[in-house]
Chain A
Amino acid sequence: MEPSDTELIAAVRKGDVSQFEPLIARYQPRVFATARRYARREDEVQDIVQEVFIKAFQKLDSFRAEAPFEHWLMRMTVRTCYDFLRSHQRNRETTLTDLSDPEVDWLERFAASPEDNANNTDATKALIDRVMAQLSPEARLVITLLEIEDRSVKEIAQLTGWSVPLVKVRAFRARAQMKKILETLTREKYL
């Protein structure tokens, strides 16, 4: 039988560093999946995951077993991803003007009939990536957690460390920002 998180954490705290490895192995798929929502390049994703586990190891003494280890780790993951977005916000150079052919096709089909345009996932994904890359770090984080991951405002507040009213304000601003980006994206050809 595999040791529980609590047993592994207790062993690490006693000085058996090697017991941290099973914890990494257990949770790294989830941390990788989360990091891939915010970073596109694989080397950036790996840097984020590595930073999360190093921080978790360094701050393990501050972990109180009141909530599951996974929740504590995911809070750390979301905050590390947010730090990553903030430190890379100058690199948001994806322009809205040079859309690829499949993206233009997708938008044209959408303009013709908005109801029947749910397919072509590659073009849609490229468009989403383009739009998300234009959002501010706060807006991107809140849109990802609220709209894409379907989390509640309270959950987001716990994950990010923001207050509930602040999450609501940032969600409102994020939606407005996204609408503005979509307006810019479609202005020239379709409005």
Chain B
Amino acid sequence: MDLEKLQQQLMAAAKAAVPNDHVPYAFEKRIMERLTAPLTVDVWALWGNWLWRAVTPCASVMAVLGIWVVVTMHNEPEPQNLEQAIENTIMSGDDVAGE
């Protein structure tokens, strides 16, 4: 079968079949009703929208603070053993009070 010819005939028929431009009765009124209807606000959708918008700034602040903490952290020597670590932890309160 000549597919090229078939395609041409189908396209010619499609061209000849002009689509109907009939409009349902008072369709413009229906659209106007939609446009002028009082706006109902979905509070939860609005809240959700705000939360999504807040994600990026919050994540940015968190990242900046994280980097700042890592950069400014004091490099204290690692305790030798568990006993030493516990003692350091308990005594650190006294150091702070003494200052």
Residues of chain A at the chain B interface (Cβ within 8 Å): 17-18, 20-21, 24-25, 28-30, 32-34, 36-37, 46, 49-50, 53-54, 57, 110-111, 114, 117-118, 121, 124-125, 127-128, 131-132, 147-148, 150, 178-179, 182-183, 186, 190-191
What residues on B are CB-neighbors of A57 within 8 Å?
35
- Dominant secondary structure of chain B at its interface with chain A: helix
Question: Does B94 sit at the interface, judged by CB under 8 A?
Answer: no
Q: What 0/1 pattern do residues 24 to 41 of B give for CB contact below 8 A with A?
A: 100111111011100000
Expressed in whole angstroms, the Cα–Cα distance for A25 and B32 within the complex equals 11
**How far does the Cβ of B10 sit from chain A's closest Cβ, in whole Å?**
5
B21 touching A32, Cβ below 8 Å? yes
- Given A21-B32, A29-B21, A124-B10, does the pair A186, B1 have CB atoms closer than 8 Å? yes
Least CB separation from A49: chain B residue: B27
Question: Does B6 sit at the interface, judged by CB under 8 A?
Answer: yes
Least CB separation from B10: chain A residue: A128
What residues on B are CB-neighbors of A54 within 8 Å?
31, 34-35
Expressed in whole angstroms, the Cα–Cα distance for A132 and B7 within the complex equals 12
- Given A21-B32, A114-B2, does the pair A46, B24 have CB atoms closer than 8 Å? yes
A-B contact pairs, 14 of them (CB 8 A): A24-B28, A24-B32, A25-B28, A28-B28, A29-B21, A30-B21, A33-B20, A50-B34, A110-B6, A114-B5, A118-B12, A125-B13, A179-B3, A183-B3
Size bracket, chain B contacts: 20 to 34
**How far does the Cβ of A159 sit from chain B's closest Cβ, in whole Å?**
16
Given contacts A57-B35, A186-B1, 18 further A-B contacts (CB under 8 A): A18-B32, A20-B32, A21-B29, A24-B31, A28-B23, A29-B21, A29-B23, A36-B20, A46-B27, A54-B31, A54-B34, A110-B1, A127-B10, A131-B10, A148-B11, A179-B3, A179-B7, A182-B6
Lowest 4 A-B CB distances belong to which pairs? Answer: A29-B21, A33-B21, A124-B13, A36-B19
B28 touching A21, Cβ below 8 Å? yes
Residues of chain B at the chain A interface (Cβ within 8 Å): 1-3, 5-7, 9-24, 27-32, 34-36
**How far does the Cβ of A18 sit from chain B's closest Cβ, in whole Å?**
7
What residues on B are CB-neighbors of A183 within 8 Å?
3
B3 touching A17, Cβ below 8 Å? no
What residues on B are CB-neighbors of A49 within 8 Å?
27
A17 touching B36, Cβ below 8 Å? yes
Expressed in whole angstroms, the Cα–Cα distance for A48 and B30 within the complex equals 13
Least CB separation from A35: chain B residue: B19
**How far does the Cβ of B51 sit from chain A's closest Cβ, in whole Å?**
25
> Which of A17, A25, A128 meets B35, CB within 8 Å?
A17
- Taking each of B24, B31, B34, which has the highest tally of chain A beta carbons within 10 Å of its own beta carbon? B31
